[in-house]
Amino acid sequence: MSGFAQNTFNGLVSGAFYALLALGLAVIFGMLRVVNFAHGAFYMLGAFGAYVLLSEAGVPFWAALVIMPVGLGLLGMALERAVIHRLTKLDPLYNFLLTFGLTLILQDLVKLRYGVQSSPYETPSLLSGSVDFGLFDFPTYRVFILGFAVLLCVAVWWVLTRTRIGMVVRAATERPDLTRAFGIDVGRWVTPVFGFGIGLAGLAGVLAAPMRAVNPLMGADLIIVVFAVVVIGGLGSIFGSVAAGFGIGLVQAWGEAYLSNFPLVSQTIVFVVMAGVLLWRPAGLFGREEAPA
């Protein structure tokens, strides 16, 4: 039983990363109709930035947790203004290609400077050790990640449903033209929302630094899994994306633990689930039907 709790907990923690990345993707997609391939690259930059800040300037984890998301968010906003913005009127495929190109560039820039080997990042001392939950104890750092991610998702949900900004963003997501007709300047919110999504990816990256190997390629493989996650949840649905993120984390952890005879399971189970969802509900578990095509 404690094994089950252990696996469930680990699944939720890795699900938290999927959820944070899927949340950013979904928010950006809702507002801009852009599927940001570079999301994984920004996750990697978050982790790498934290590593470089610590090893070269002695900036601690807590500072990096603020600096990297804000810095990357600003970079994202600049990027949106400079290039992505030019292509939003066109087929979304063009922005997908553009951000794919950006991914290759960002990855190789980091590779060129720091090589491809993984770098260790020490867990902040405040969060080392483990928390005792009576029957089981979990590493403090992982408990922190899970709590932090859940808190963030709830905060985003609160902003989207309970504040004026959230209402504007949701309205603009559903009916941009009608929202504009009400005299609301939709365009004003596009760049900040993009920056926010990128900031979330950067934040996930900083959180990942002490837990996962920091290297230039850490984001790319992850983002493809996150694409499968948002196809499962339905990219149009923010709730669906987050739920699917945690769900896939759980399914992967359970698969890894109870189907350990099949080493492929943990890596491919997400794609199998995606295939099932495409058969059963092509629009995603929480998505709405697209226009028939």
Partner 1 sequence: MTNTVDTPTDASRATPPSGLIAVARAPGWVRYALLAVGLGVAAWLPNGLYPAVAVDILCWALFAVAVDLLLGFTGLMSFGHAAFWGTSAYVTGLVAIHAGLPFPLAVLAGALAAAVLAVPIGYLAVKRTGIYFAMVTLAFAQMVYYVANEWRSVTQGENGLQGVPRELFGLDLTDDYFFYYAILPIVLLGLAAAWRIVHSPFGRVLVGIRDNPARARALGYPVHRYKLTAFVLSGFIAGLGGGLFAVGHRFVSLDVLHWTTSGKAVIVVVLGGIGTLWGGVLGAALVVRLEDWLSFSGFEAIGLVTGGIFVLVVVLFRRGIWGSVAALAHRLAARRR
Binding site for partner 1 (CB under 8 A): 35, 83, 86-87, 90-94, 96-98, 100-105, 107-109, 111-112, 220-221, 224-225, 227-228, 230-231, 235, 263-264, 267-268, 270-271, 274-275, 278-279, 282, 290-293
CA atoms of 76 and 196, how far apart (whole Å): 8
- The most distant pair of C-alpha atoms in the chain lies apart, rounded to whole Å, by 60
Contacts 24+ apart (CB under 8 A), 255-259: 256/7, 257/3, 257/7, 258/7
Least distance to partner 1, CB of residue 221, Å: 8
Residue-level length of the chain? 293
By C-beta, is 111 or 162 nearer to partner 1?
Answer: 111
Nearest Cα neighbor of 171 from 153, 189, 147, 144 is 189
CA atoms of 43 and 61, how far apart (whole Å): 16
Least distance to partner 1, CB of residue 190, Å: 18
Least distance to partner 1, CB of residue 278, Å: 5
CB burial class (10 A; 0-12, 13-18, 19+) of residue 88? middle
Strand partners, 139: 130
By C-beta, is 41 or 50 nearer to partner 1?
Answer: 41
Least distance to partner 1, CB of residue 63, Å: 30
By C-beta, is 155 or 278 nearer to partner 1?
Answer: 278
Least distance to partner 1, CB of residue 161, Å: 26
Least distance to partner 1, CB of residue 33, Å: 8
By C-beta, is 152 or 277 nearer to partner 1?
Answer: 277
By C-beta, is 167 or 213 nearer to partner 1?
Answer: 213
End-to-end CA distance of the chain: 48
For 167, 209, 214, the CA distances from 200, given in Å and listed in that order, are: 20, 14, 18
- Strands annotated E in the chain: 130-132, 137-139
Least distance to partner 1, CB of residue 7, Å: 21
- In degrees, rounded to 5, the angle at the alpha carbon of residue 132 between the alpha carbons of residues 128 and 137 is 80
By C-beta, is 67 or 213 nearer to partner 1?
Answer: 213
By C-beta, is 42 or 121 nearer to partner 1?
Answer: 42
